[in-house]
């Protein structure tokens, strides 16, 4: 059986796991009629939003597909469509599981904490395995079709396979930036809006059924934190594994077992799906109530099992660990070297998770310092939160730099690619931990609205607090891997450049002013993108505030429980706002590289200057984006948990002045961590992929 | 008369202007006894702070001077000491003028707006001309001594002059980062602390004499916005002009009129002192009350007059505009080309001022959007402010990129150096506009505390509102010029590297992973530095809050005006906190380049890798720092003026919920714009200069 076939089978195993576990989750009790009614409203809102989002994205997608078809041919266009559609499917499934698991988790939490945890985590695991499985199937299946059915080969001068894989990644990235941003704007506009009028002005608790924005807030968890996140991680997986294959095809053109090397990243992805599935069964509370510990147990089992699994995969694919893969090259390496690089990827993943937990967990200095700063008011809370945001970039940067150096010393650029691939191989498990969060968040909301016993809400709150950290962890992980993957894409860019334009001397030295200009313009992109995302949330949240105020004013019965607020009106308003706001920022990374290439080439009167600036822009967007993404996601998580820490009875507890200040910090952190920050990850990749496609298009015409 | 002698004379003209105008300012009425008593308290606090700050800096300075002497010899150590001492003197004079002009401005405002403006602006102009004059004297004098008295020459292999100039710049930078950061922490800790307890908790107005932190707040304006700013701009001037001379010595070694070219940047600085002095006399209100317009009139006169002045200086120094300066070089250029580059520098200055005014002025969308967002609460105010912060980086980045490209196409690296030099040549005028701000701010405080008529406070408030914008303008200008100056320093680094280690192949290509690591670590520095600055303010402000609360509690007579608060206790507390907090962050840019070089050389086992990473770090710190500095300074200014805009009666005016939210935004913006943001400017330069000194030291040993 070929390596690709094995990978496809392992991808199908993930899908089968998803289907099997779905029946378990859906078989659980969906609670009483009131709960089901609320859940139905959330479900309806989420579906309505996703339908409208996908319709809009489809229009952009069709136009871009046509451009890809024109510039690079139908095979690339097919790759683009596969990537785009499956990215959408990943988000759609994530949302659909989540909106059904929420109410069942609330029901299960009536029985006990373990039951709630099991149900919510299973729901997360379904999304996780489907994301990893579909991503693997997309690449492996398309690659299998191109090489086995259509008969294209790699290793020669034919670019069909490489271009197809890049186009596939582009499709995934383009959809995911829309999904991340649209979902992110929706969820945070609803959340911020609901909090501002509900908690701050009207003085009613979170998730109070009298708040007209409460259903929109819960819908947001599903379309943003769940569907958006799933599309994002699908993209990250496809781009990372795809980029590793592309780099293999470009750098190892003439080596003996090129076919096995092309399939190896797929196989690593495949075996880690198995270890991820095994890991999910270890997520259970021990004697205590340490929910985070239960999560880590599962992750640790997956990570530890992945070590021998990857070792086996490499040995099996290459027929041994010690054979030199690229004899005669300046830097020779073996299967064992690639294993070390993969192991390094697992270590980086572990370190980033650990650092992120330190910066966002309630047990450590950062969150406690924000909580303490809340005592002296709104201003000092925000100042300390911003300081922590900036500080949180330090250790991840150092880890990534260490990873780059070690991987490069082991096996050059291929080493970096394998480190990134191994990081992403754990995506199934990481997404499982993340997708669990919005389910418990929703469960808490449903428990509150359905008037369940306070003990239920306490359990869902305990589950949700952990969700804040796991959500931050996924984002740190995604952006960390993006840092490595983008370097791989940059390497593909420079290699392609030499292949397509062999006579052009492109000077990538820092002494070239066009390189400096490219770096600056690249670093500008995430700043501008972040600004657009934040503004969009602020604007949409302002609309929500006005709508809620209006409902309270014109329908005084709401506050006395005599009449019900018009939930659907608010959902509809947020939907429209989010869709409208997501378009322009999403197109920024698509159009900027093209503009920079043409403008600089024109100004300098020299194509080489244009390519140099474009290349530097790709690195600039990583250098700038890494800091913005990490600071926003970690800082936002820290703010959120500082509020939770105060609500747990510190610094005066709920209702104190410190708590009010912490609510402000949480509000500021919302678009940071759930809109602008995470969307930087697909943004970085899109910029890089567009540059690769531009190169291919320029060479073809 | 030699060009250097002319420059020295023009520098002395600036000092003479300062002395002459000082007598005018000091001759003005110092108000009634109550006002003088308050002013004396502020003066005493500022002097006590500066004394303690300089004592601390002196300890660090002596240690560093010893290291410089050991590594590079006594001449470099002398240069370091001159730079350091004069940087301190610039700050000291700025503070001393400011603490005497504040009360006189308050007194003058009793007569009329024009009188207040004249006095405050004259005080600013004294600081401005002394900063520019002393900076010019420092470089020109030291250069004159080395070449005319000690007999060292440039153009040969002797490095004494070049190393001496670099060491001079280092001295200026090191002191200025301490001054900027220490002063920044002091002013904002006092400001934030005073606001939090006074305005927010106790509900007493700003500058109320019952607030124990009110004197500390006013002291802060003088030691931070005035002394710190003066030291910063002194540094920027010395580094930029010095770097241009160093680059001239390195790149134009063999050309015919090298001596004239070495002196030309000094002469440009000199003639622009004259145009700046002329400009100051044009700052006066026309028929209306457009204070900003009056400021711009002065600036515009200076800028326009500088064009022919620079034309004359170049022609006079080179004996004609059309002679090719570097015949036979790959990119030949003439005096006319250098004039175009200088003109470009003036255009960049104008554009940055215009952009900064757009982002921080109350008449435009950004500030209005923050004010509007305040209606929906603290959270949306901060979100919108952060969005504006990020957005504000876009246009300056594009202007700087455009400047780099045009200057480089005209005259290569020398073109960039001349653009930067011309920018800094206007420093006298720019500092005048800036230093005017804290004087009016203090004047308002004194008017309030002395119980002067409300009409006086109205006038000082009008003057102060403009101060917010001019302060932001200076910072944008300083960081913009830093972007260009740092490129010049980087060019000096690469040129030096080739000279010192001719056999070492250092690969600065973006394809070198050590370059990427260097870029990432460089970009990390401003993030970490910003975090430290913000934390320091938060911590020190927290101390102030506790002290003020304590005074209110233990001395209830304060609120009823029966007893006076213990102002000195608060001043003393903030002084200690600021000094303690400034040390570690200031050392970060000094030690980081050294650490990166040694660690990377050791890890890679290759000196070339260490130099590549270090070089990339120098650019990384610009790429990262530019965005952090611009976003913080513009964003902070926008928050401040959004509050002022609301206080002017929009969105509910003073005391409304929107106003409370705007106060929070202003509080957050305080450390952004006055502590962390502006200190990034000297930080960027220090990193670059330390790298240059490290190279020289490695080559010498």
Over residues B243-260, the pLDDT tens digits come to 999 999 999 988 888 999
Question: Which residues, in sequence order, are bridge partners of residue B324?
Answer: B334
- Mean pLDDT, range A565-569, rounded to an integer: 88
Token reading at A437: 């969060």
For A401, the closest of B490, B509, B517 (CB atoms) is B517
Between A and B, how many residue pairs show a Cβ–Cβ distance under 8 A? 256
A481 pLDDT exceeds 80? yes
**Residue B256 and residue A323: Cα distance in Å, rounded?**
62
Asked if B376 and A545 come within 8 Å (Cβ–Cβ), the reply is yes
Contacts of B460 (CB under 8 A, 6+ apart): B105, B106, B109, B116, B440, B443, B444, B447
Give B288: exposed, middle or buried? Use CB within 10 Å, 0-12, 13-18, 19+.
exposed
**Chain B residues near residue A535 by CB distance under 8 angstroms:** 369, 384, 387, 391
**Residue B487 and residue B626: Cα distance in Å, rounded?**
12
**Chain B residues near residue A624 by CB distance under 8 angstroms:** 523, 623-624, 627
Asked if B376 and A668 come within 8 Å (Cβ–Cβ), the reply is no
Asked if B378 and A667 come within 8 Å (Cβ–Cβ), the reply is yes
Task: Work out the number of other CB atoms within 10 angstroms of the CB of residue A329.
Answer: 15
Q: Which of A194, A173, A141, A169 is nearest to A9 (CA)?
A: A141
**Residue A137 and residue B179: Cα distance in Å, rounded?**
59
ipTM: 0.94
Asked if A380 and B671 come within 8 Å (Cβ–Cβ), the reply is no
Cα B29 from chain centroid? 31
| Residue to test with chain B: of A395, A527, A537, A627, most B Cβ within 10 A | A527
End-to-end CA distance of chain A: 40
Residue A336: per-residue pLDDT: 96
Nearest CA in chain A to B523: A623
Cα A674 from chain centroid? 10
Backbone angles phi, psi at B457, to 5 degrees: -60, -35
Tell me the pLDDT tens digit for each residue of A222-234. Answer: 888 888 899 999 9
* Residue of A417 and A158 predicted with greater confidence: A417
**Chain A residues near residue B373 by CB distance under 8 angstroms:** 538, 542
Nearest CA in chain A to B626: A520
A212 pLDDT exceeds 90? no
Token reading at A686: 């899109």
A654 pLDDT exceeds 90? no
Give A515: exposed, middle or buried? Use CB within 10 Å, 0-12, 13-18, 19+.
buried
For A524, the closest of B393, B511, B600 (CB atoms) is B393
Q: Cα dist. B536→A658, B181, B634 in Å?
A: 20, 10, 21
Which region, left, alpha or beta, applies to residue A153 given φ > 0 means left and ψ of -120 to 50 means alpha? beta
Nearest CA in chain A to B622: A520
* Residue of A313 and B543 predicted with greater confidence: A313
**Chain B residues near residue A415 by CB distance under 8 angstroms:** none
B97 close to B123: Cβ distance less than 8 angstroms: yes
**Chain A residues near residue B617 by CB distance under 8 angstroms:** none
Residue A407: per-residue pLDDT: 96
Nearest CA in chain A to B415: A513
Asked if B515 and A515 come within 8 Å (Cβ–Cβ), the reply is no
Residue A471: per-residue pLDDT: 84
A523 pLDDT exceeds 90? yes
**Nearest 5 degrees, angle CA A168-CA A172-CA A176?**
165
Residue B482: per-residue pLDDT: 86
Token reading at B412: 């290569």
Q: Using CA atoms in the order A249, A250, A252, A256, what is the torsion angle rounded to 10 degrees?
A: 50
For B196, the closest of A380, A514, A671 (CB atoms) is A380
Asked if B390 and A538 come within 8 Å (Cβ–Cβ), the reply is no
Q: pLDDT class for A83, splitting at 50, 70, 90?
A: very high
Token reading at A479: 């952006």
Q: Cα dist. B541→B184, B192, B193, B530 in Å?
A: 12, 6, 5, 16
Asked if A524 and B627 come within 8 Å (Cβ–Cβ), the reply is yes
**Chain B residues near residue A617 by CB distance under 8 angstroms:** none
Residue A209: per-residue pLDDT: 82
**Chain A residues near residue B541 by CB distance under 8 angstroms:** 376, 380, 383
Q: Cα dist. A67→A63, A566, B338 in Å?
A: 6, 43, 46
Kindly list the averaged pLDDT for each block of 10 residues, start to end, along chain B of length 701: 94 95 91 90 89 90 94 93 93 90 93 90 94 96 94 84 93 91 92 81 80 89 88 92 93 88 96 96 82 89 96 94 88 94 96 93 93 90 95 96 95 94 94 90 89 88 82 87 88 91 91 94 96 91 88 88 88 89 91 96 94 95 94 94 91 90 92 91 91 90 72
| Residue to test with chain A: of B192, B390, B605, most A Cβ within 10 A | B390
Q: How many CA atoms lie within 13 A of A427 on its CB side?
A: 37
**Residue A505 and residue A519: Cα distance in Å, rounded?**
19
Question: Which residues, in sequence order, are bridge partners of residue A509?
Answer: B509
Residue A48: per-residue pLDDT: 87
Residue B562: per-residue pLDDT: 87
Q: Which of B317, B696, B272, B239 is nearest to B499 (CA)?
A: B696
Nearest CA in chain A to B379: A664
Tell me the pLDDT tens digit for each residue of A657-677. Answer: 899 999 999 999 999 999 999
Residue A292: per-residue pLDDT: 85
| Residue to test with chain B: of A376, A412, A482, A545, most B Cβ within 10 A | A376
**Nearest 5 degrees, angle CA B621-CA B626-CA B627?**
110
- Mean pLDDT, range A237-242, rounded to an integer: 94
Contacts of B328 (CB under 8 A, 6+ apart): none
Q: Cα dist. A41→A571, B274, B552, B646 in Å?
A: 10, 73, 53, 40
Nearest CA in chain B to A200: B377
Give A287: exposed, middle or buried? Use CB within 10 Å, 0-12, 13-18, 19+.
exposed
- Mean pLDDT, range A495-516, rounded to an integer: 91
For A408, the closest of B379, B513, B521 (CB atoms) is B513
A609 pLDDT exceeds 90? yes
Question: Chain B closest CA to A562's CA: distance in Å?
Answer: 27
**Nearest 5 degrees, angle CA A126-CA A129-CA A135?**
135
**Residue B53 and residue B91: Cα distance in Å, rounded?**
11
Nearest CA in chain B to A382: B668
Asked if A524 and B397 come within 8 Å (Cβ–Cβ), the reply is yes
Q: Which of A301-305, A525-529, B290-294 has the lowest mean pLDDT?
A: B290-294
Tell me the pLDDT tens digit for each residue of A551-561. Answer: 988 888 888 88
Q: Using CA atoms in the order B87, B89, B90, B96, what is the torsion angle rounded to 10 degrees?
A: 150
Asked if A513 and B377 come within 8 Å (Cβ–Cβ), the reply is no
Asked if B520 and A626 come within 8 Å (Cβ–Cβ), the reply is yes
Question: Which residues, in sequence order, are bridge partners of residue B334?
Answer: B324
End-to-end CA distance of chain B: 40
Cα A556 from chain centroid? 41
Question: Which residues, in sequence order, are bridge partners of residue A324?
Answer: A334
- Mean pLDDT, range A597-608, rounded to an integer: 94
**Nearest 5 degrees, angle CA A174-CA A180-CA A184?**
150
Task: Work out the number of other CB atoms within 10 angstroms of the CB of residue B576.
Answer: 14
Asked if A386 and B668 come within 8 Å (Cβ–Cβ), the reply is yes
Backbone angles phi, psi at A158, to 5 degrees: -70, 125
Q: Which of A529, A515, A615 is nearest to B394 (CA)?
A: A529
Which region, left, alpha or beta, applies to residue B73 given φ > 0 means left and ψ of -120 to 50 means alpha? left
Q: Cα dist. A603→A609, A613, B330, B356 in Å?
A: 9, 12, 19, 26
Token reading at B585: 């962050």
Asked if B192 and A604 come within 8 Å (Cβ–Cβ), the reply is no
| Residue to test with chain B: of A407, A408, A482, A524, most B Cβ within 10 A | A524
Token reading at A228: 């958006």
Q: Cα dist. B604→A341, A416, B124, B511, B609 in Å?
A: 17, 16, 52, 16, 6
Question: Chain B closest CA to A643's CA: distance in Å?
Answer: 14
Nearest CA in chain A to B662: A379
3-state secondary structure of B334: strand
Which region, left, alpha or beta, applies to residue B697 given φ > 0 means left and ψ of -120 to 50 means alpha? alpha
Nearest CA in chain B to A495: B511
Asked if B534 and A386 come within 8 Å (Cβ–Cβ), the reply is yes
Task: Work out the number of other CB atoms within 10 angstroms of the CB of residue B701.
Answer: 8
Give A584: exposed, middle or buried? Use CB within 10 Å, 0-12, 13-18, 19+.
exposed
Tell me the pLDDT tens digit for each residue of B646-668. Answer: 988 899 988 898 999 999 999 99
Asked if A397 and B615 come within 8 Å (Cβ–Cβ), the reply is no
B170 close to B272: Cβ distance less than 8 angstroms: no
Tell me the pLDDT tens digit for each residue of A391-440. Answer: 999 999 999 999 999 999 999 999 999 999 999 999 999 999 888 888 99
């Amino acid at each position: 059986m070929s390596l690709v076939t094995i990978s496809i089978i392992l991808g199908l195993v993930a899908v089968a796991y998803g289907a099997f576990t779905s029946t378990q989750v859906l078989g659980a009790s969906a609670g009483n009629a009131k709960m089901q009614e609320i859940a139905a409203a959330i479900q309806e809102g989420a579906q309505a939003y996703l339908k409208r989002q996908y319709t809009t994205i489809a229009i952009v997608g069709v136009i871009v597909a046509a451009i890809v078809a024109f510039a690079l041919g139908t095979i690339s266009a097919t790759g683009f469509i596969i990537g785009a559609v499956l990215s959408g499917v990943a988000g759609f499934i994530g949302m659909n599981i989540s909106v059904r698991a929420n109410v069942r988790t609330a029901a299960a939490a009536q029985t006990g904490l373990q039951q709630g945890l099991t149900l919510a985590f299973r729901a997360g695991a379904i999304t996780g395995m489907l994301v990893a499985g579909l991503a693997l199937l997309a690449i492996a299946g398309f690659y299998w079709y191109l090489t086995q059915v259509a008969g294209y080969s790699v290793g020669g001068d034919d670019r069909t396979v490489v271009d197809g894989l890049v186009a596939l990644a582009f499709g995934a990235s383009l959809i995911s930036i829309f999904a991340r941003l649209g979902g992110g704007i929706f969820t945070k506009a609803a959340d911020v809006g609901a909090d501002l009028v509900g908690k701050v002005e009207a003085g009613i608790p979170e998730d109070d059924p009298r708040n007209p924005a409460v259903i929109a807030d819960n819908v947001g968890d599903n379309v943003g934190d769940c569907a958006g996140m799933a599309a994002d991680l699908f993209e990250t997986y496809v781009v990372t594994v795809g980029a590793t294959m592309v780099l293999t095809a470009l750098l190892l053109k003439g080596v003996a077992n090129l076919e096995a090397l092309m399939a190896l990243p797929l196989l690593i992805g495949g075996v880690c799906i198995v270890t991820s599935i095994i890991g999910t069964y270890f997520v259970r509370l021990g004697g205590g109530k340490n929910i985070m510990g239960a999560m880590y147990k599962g992750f640790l089992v997956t990570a530890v099992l992945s070590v021998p699994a990857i070792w086996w995969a490499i040995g099996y694919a290459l027929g041994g660990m010690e054979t030199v893969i690229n004899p005669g090259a300046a830097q020779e390496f073996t299967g064992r070297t690639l294993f070390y690089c993969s192991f390094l990827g697992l270590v980086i993943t572990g370190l980033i998770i650990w650092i992120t937990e330190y910066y966002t967990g309630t047990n450590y200095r950062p969150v406690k310092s924000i909580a303490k700063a809340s005592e002296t008011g709104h201003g000092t809370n925000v100042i300390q939160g911003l300081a922590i945001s900036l500080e949180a970039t330090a250790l991840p940067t150092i880890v990534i730099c260490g990873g780059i150096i070690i991987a490069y010393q082991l096996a050059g650029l291929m080493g970096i690619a394998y480190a990134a691939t191994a990081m992403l191989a754990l995506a199934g498990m990481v997404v499982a931990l993340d997708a669990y969060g919005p389910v418990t968040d929703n469960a808490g909301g449903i428990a509150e609205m359905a008037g369940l016993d306070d003990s239920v809400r306490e359990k869902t709150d305990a589950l949700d607090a952990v969700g804040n950290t796991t959500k931050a962890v996924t984002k740190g992980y995604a952006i960390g891997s993006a840092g490595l993957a983008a370097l791989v894409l940059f390497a593909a860019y420079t290699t392609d450049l030499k292949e397509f334009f062999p006579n052009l001397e492109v000077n990538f030295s820092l002494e070239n002013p066009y390189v400096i200009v490219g770096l600056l313009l690249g670093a500008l992109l995430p700043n501008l993108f972040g600004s657009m995302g934040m503004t969009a949330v602020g604007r949409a949240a302002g609309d929500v505030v006005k709508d809620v105020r209006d409902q309270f004013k014109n329908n005084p019965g709401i506050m006395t429980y005599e009449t019900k607020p018009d939930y659907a009106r608010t959902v509809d308003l947020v939907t429209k706002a989010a869709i409208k706001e997501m378009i322009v920022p999403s197109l920024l990374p698509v159009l900027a590289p093209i503009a920079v290439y043409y403008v600089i080439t024109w100004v300098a009167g020299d194509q080489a200057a244009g390519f140099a600036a474009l290349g530097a822009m790709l690195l600039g967007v990583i250098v700038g984006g890494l800091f913005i993404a990490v600071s926003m996601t970690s800082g936002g998580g820290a703010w959120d948990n500082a509020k939770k820490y105060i609500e747990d009875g510190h610094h005066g507890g709920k209702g104190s002045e410190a708590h009010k200040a912490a609510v402000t910090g949480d509000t500021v952190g919302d678009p940071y961590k759930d809109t602008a920050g995470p969307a930087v990850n697909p943004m970085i990749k899109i910029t890089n992929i567009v540059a690769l496609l531009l190169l291919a298009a320029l060479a073809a015409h």
